[in-house]
Amino acid sequence: MGRPLRRQVRAAQLTPRVTAATPGIAAAALAAAPRREDAYLRVEEVGKQFGTFVALHRVSLSVQAGEFVTFLGPSGCGKTTLLRGIAGLDPPTTGRILQEGRDITHLPPSERDFGIVFQSYALFPNLTVNANVGYGLRGAAWPRARARERVAELLGVVGLSDQGEKYPSQLSGGQQQRVALARALANEPGLLLLDEPLSALDAIVRQHLRQEIRSLQQRLGVTTIMVTHDQEEAMGVSDRIVVMSRGRIEQIGTPAEIYARPASPFVAGFIGHSSHFEAVVDSPAGMLVAGGARLPAEAARPLLDGARVACFIRPEHLRLAPPDAAPPGALKARVTGGEFLGPSCRVSLEAGALRLLAAVVPAELAALGALPGAEVAATLPPEHLMVFAEDA
Amino acid sequence: MPDAVLAAAPSRPRLSLDQQVMSWGLWLALAFLLAFLALPLGTLLLRAFETPEGGFAGLANFRTYATTPALLVAAWNSVWTAALSAVIVVPLAFGYAYALTRACIPARPLFRAVMMLPLLAPSLLPALALIYLFGNQGMLRGLLMGGSIYGPAGIVAAQVFYCFPAAALILAVALSTADARLYEAAAALRASRARIFLTVTLPGARYGLVSAFVVVFTLVVTDFGIPKVIGGQFPVLATDVYKQVVGLQDFNMGAVVGIVLLVPAVAAFLLDRWASRQRSATMSGRAVPLRPAPRAARDRPLLALCLVVAAVLVGIVGVAAWGSLIRFWPYNLSLTLDNYGFSRFDAAGWQAVWLSVRMAGLAAVLGTAIIFVVAYVLERGPQKGQLPGLGRFAATVPLAVPGLVLGLAYVLFFNHPANPLGVLYGTLAILVLNSIVHFYTVGHLTAVTAIRQLDPEFESVGASMRVPVWVTFGRVTVPMCLPAILEIAIYLFVTAMTTVSAVIFLYGPDTKPASVAMLHMDEAGQASAAAAMGVVILGITTAAKLAQLVLGALLGRATQAWRR
């Protein structure tokens, strides 16, 4: 049991970066991050082609020891292809993959060091939970007694000590998921791969289990890569997120980074909610013209006059005021609809040609009288406008 | 961490032990199908273009065929009797299957069991029973009003009996996969029952109907036993092949007729594949299964139909069984077991029965192992290149090859002086191999269906834990697929016990199967002994079917814990 302990230490050292929430520290972490040599796993220029279809375009990234990295993207973005490449289930067509400095690009899965949990769990239905977890504990290294101890230990870790004699079909979805996790960890792999591990569960179990996976991962210090299309899940558990789209990496960063400073229009639109509109850079520097309105935006300062840009703004950053108390520079907007979401309300607005979303706490909404048809004054804070030059 | 990172040697694509094992398996599978399917059929094809002296004949043999009126008449006879049989049997089978799947009738399992009865005996048995009833000394001969049962009438009647289970099975499957929501929608739109039947039920089953028609047509065209026994002077393709090869020893013309026989079978096979592709596209995965509610106006007539059909099926088998116990039909109707003393009628005697059991048993054991492993390798092995696709295609070809054609191909291939596999000729081994290949496709499809129901990641999970693929195969795949494996084994056993056409050219002096002995006894005019042999075969296959039920139930209980 020496290896997991060692990782535990490493994980502890990583914690400050993990919790980095303020942009400053996150940026420092990014700068300090992947020094090539000390990465646990390196993916270099990895590409994958199925016939004429390119599933992955020369993707590069590295994962530190003990880190929890999530591949996030819509279906068909190549995230599962990349994971299966790392697992050796579908080796890449170009590039190479190094684990602890060893080139594993073309090694068969059985010669690599990883455990995997599939979306379907792929538990063996005809074997008991004990036999499932102990499936890989065979050969000279695992005498029966030791294998039995290890299975008991793992079931204890995932909280299923009393379920060992049952068959998978007798367990709930969440329990099956934990068995799959225990089975993947049985051989003490250096790398844990999770392929959409929670997507088969209902919402409440998911939320609970993902925190459990995270705390287990931190306790064992095992380097983990998870694939998901659920951004909330990715944000909730990851040290870093790799946002992917159409076989390319859009951005790699901590959850706070990719939310606050998306690197591309895709990330801005995909992560969290945001209103999107087209604009043109105007003078003086830092001024945009969108749908007839002039908007100051800090992010537009370095851009050339006349450049076409895509703008995004998050609903929670939009500030609303009654029309008679409009702050200077506010846009006149008409309320077109409202959704009650519990802790907040999402209000849809039309300001000239701009369609905007604003998040408002219910009490404030009542004070504003922002019912459909009402007029409000909307302010788009210049520091929160996310601006991307359109490539053309 | 070591600084040797940059020095890491680049790795090359290579196969793991698992993948090597799988690709060896693939090569072995292809070698098996090549040696015992492709090469024999190729030989048959070549022989059709050879002169009797071994030179190249071009199309001369086919020209001779096309200019021999007797042969052409046989081809036409085959086609029209097959079409007529299909036209009669498909509506009957549709009614029966409809009653089983869409109506509330009692004793459904019993009706299902009775429906399978014709499959358990050689096709000669119904022909013999019809001769007992309507033959020259038949009890009900008067009903024919001067007509003769020997000829097309007898062939069609016996074929309707013999092909009924195949058609009913296909239609029962087609009718059982109905989406209840379509019926609810139609009823909500106030469609009448007749309109619902015409607009929902029939379109839903139309590919099943095509399949059933095609399968019956092929079965009739390629069946040999029935026309041999009851066909009289009425020539058909199947008996022509036999006549050319066994009677005239003209192997080249036999090959030509065999190829002619192959044409409708291949056409039917392609049509059926087209139909099944269409069918799979029409069913959505989220259909709600239809559960029929009782309705007397529908259920009673259907029950009556089922009772009549079941009575005829049981009755025909019963007549054959009774006939086998009669001392001298129809003059001395006292009962006796004399007809079961087979050594009085045929030199092989009861040896033929034991040989058949050995042959069918070996075909079941070896065939199931081969079929299942090959299906597994084709499904779960490396999918690179053309080989797996080629293997899958080859595995479906036997369905399109009539037994007579395959048997003839085996004779020509294994009896060739230059063939090192020639030692197999006349042995039990060639009978076993021929049976396995002849009935390969149905077993293959059963295995593929079972394997596809398993999670596709089982092997990946095993590999990630460094468990070799053969361990996962033994610990997970085989136990999970045991019901399918049992079904394949029993299917092979039963078909190998009852087949005549595939083995008629292949048996040797010491290896005469019971079904062939049955044919010979009938040829020798010993109809009662032939019927007795048929009853013995029926008894053995019924026992095998019952064993399947018992074993299946035991397996079910043993594995109940993990099956929901």
Q: What is the pLDDT of residues A134-148, one digit of tens each?
A: 998 988 888 999 999
Sheet with A331-340, side-by-side order of all strands? A319-321, A375-379, A331-340, A345-351, A354-360
Residue A122 sits at the chain B interface (C-beta within 8 Å): yes
Do B168 and B72 share a structural domain?
A: yes
A135 part of contact set with chain B, CB < 8 Å: yes
A203-207 own/partner pairs: CB under 8 Å, 24+ apart: A205/A172, A205/A173, A205/A174, A206/A230, A206/A233, A207/A236
The Cα A76–Cα A92 span in angstroms is 16
pLDDT digits (tens, 9 = 90+) for B403-440: 888 988 998 888 888 888 888 888 889 999 999 999 99
Residue type, A308: R
Do both B34 and B72 map to the same domain?
no
pLDDT digit string (tens) for B55-76?
777 788 888 888 888 888 888 9
> Whole-angstrom Cα distance, residue A277 to residue A274?
10
For residues A176 and A168, the answer to whether their CB atoms sit within 8 Å is: yes
Residues of A in contact with B14 (CB under 8 A): 106, 108
Question: What percentage of chain B has pLDDT greater than the value 90?
Answer: 24
H-helix or E-strand containing A218? helix A203-220
Domain tally, chain B = 2
Query: For the whole model, what pTM was predicted?
Result: 0.82
Q: Tell me, what's the pLDDT at B6?
A: 38
Task: Look at residue B497 and tell me whether its pLDDT is greater than 90.
Answer: yes
Domains A2-114+189-267 and A273-279+309-389 share a fold: no
Same-domain status, B375 and B237:
no
Question: What confidence tens digit (pLDDT) does each residue in A246-256 have?
Answer: 999 999 999 99
Side-chain-facing half-sphere of B233: CA atoms under 13 Å: 2
Cβ distance B213 to B86 under 8 Å?
yes
Average pLDDT, chain B: 85
User: Do B528 and B473 reside in the same domain of the chain?
Assistant: yes
**Domain-located, residue B320:** no
User: Strand order of the sheet with strand A223-228?
Assistant: A115-117, A191-195, A223-228, A68-72, A240-245, A248-253
Residue A12 has pLDDT above 50, yes or no: no
Task: Kindly tell me the sign of the dihedral angle through the C-alpha atoms of A309, A315, A317, A323.
Answer: positive
Q: Looking at the structure, do residues B269 and B163 belong to the same domain, yes or no?
A: yes
Which structural domain range is residue B189 located in?
61-298
Give A245's pLDDT tier (boundaries 50, 70, 90).
very high
Nearest-angstrom CA–CA distance, A8 and A4? 6
Q: Name the domain boundary from B298, B323, B358.
A: B298
CA B122 to CA B499: how far, in whole Å? Answer: 6
CA distance B214 to B90: 10
Q: Which CA distances in Å does B544 have to A262, B440, B495, B563?
A: 69, 19, 11, 25
**pLDDT class for B362, splitting at 50, 70, 90?**
very high
The closest alpha carbon to B297, from B169, B194, B198, belongs to: B194
Quickly state the pLDDT bin for B91 (edges 50, 70, 90).
Answer: very high
8 Å CB contact of A108 and B463: yes
What pLDDT, on a 0 to 100 scale, did the predictor assign at position B281? 54
* Residue of B13, B16, B467 lying closest to A136 (CB–CB): B467
In a domain, B218, yes or no: yes
Q: Is the pLDDT at B219 greater than 60, yes or no? A: yes
CATH class assigned to A2-114+189-267: alpha beta
Query: Yes or no: is domain A273-279+309-389 CATH 2.40.50.100?
Result: yes
Q: How far is Cα A70 from Cα A87, in angstroms, rounded to an integer? A: 15
- Domains of chain A: which residue ranges? 2-114+189-267, 273-279+309-389
The answer to whether position B135 is within a domain reads yes
B415 and B559 in a single domain? The answer is: yes
User: Whose structure tokens read 């085959």?
Assistant: B78
Q: Do the Cβ atoms of A120 and B3 come within 8 Å?
A: no
Cβ–Cβ under 8 Å, residues A346 and A338: yes
3-state secondary structure B207-256: HHHHHHHHHHHHHHHHCCHHHHHHCCCCCCHHHHHHHHHHHCCCHHHHHH
Q: What angle do CA A308, A312, A316 make, to 5 degrees?
A: 160
**Average confidence score pLDDT of chain A:** 84
In B, which residues are within 8 Å of A168 by CB distance? 562
pLDDT tens digits along A172-191: 888 999 999 999 999 889 99
Q: Is B4 within 8 Å of A101 when comparing Cβ atoms?
A: yes
- DSSP-derived secondary structure for B49-104: TB-TTSSB-TTHHHHHHHT-HHHHHHHHHHHHHHHHHHHHHHHHHHHHHHHHHHS-
- Among B248, B274, B298, which residue terminates a domain? B298
- Mutation site, A90, A124, A191, A225, interface B, largest B CB count within 10 A: A124
Point out which residues pair with A46 in neighbouring strands: A59
Q: Which of B273, B298, B323 is the last residue of a domain?
A: B298
User: Facing residues of B73 across strands?
Assistant: none
Residue A21 pLDDT more than 50? Answer: no
Report the CATH number that the domain containing residue B543 is assigned in CATH. Answer: 1.10.3720.10
Q: Are residues B395 and B435 in the same domain?
A: yes
Same domain? For B176 and B40 the reply is no
Q: Is residue B325 a part of any domain in this protein?
A: no
Q: Is the pLDDT of residue A242 over 50?
A: yes
Amino acid residing at A255: P
Over residues B389-401, mean pLDDT: 85
- A103 in contact with B, Cβ within 8 Å: yes
For B563, name the nearest residue in chain A, comparing CA atoms only.
A169
R_g of chain A, CA atoms, integer Å: 25
B475 and B559 in a single domain? The answer is yes
Give buried/exposed letters for B440-471 (b at 16+ CB in 10 A, else e). Answer: bbbbbbbbbebbeebbebbbbbbbbbbbbbee
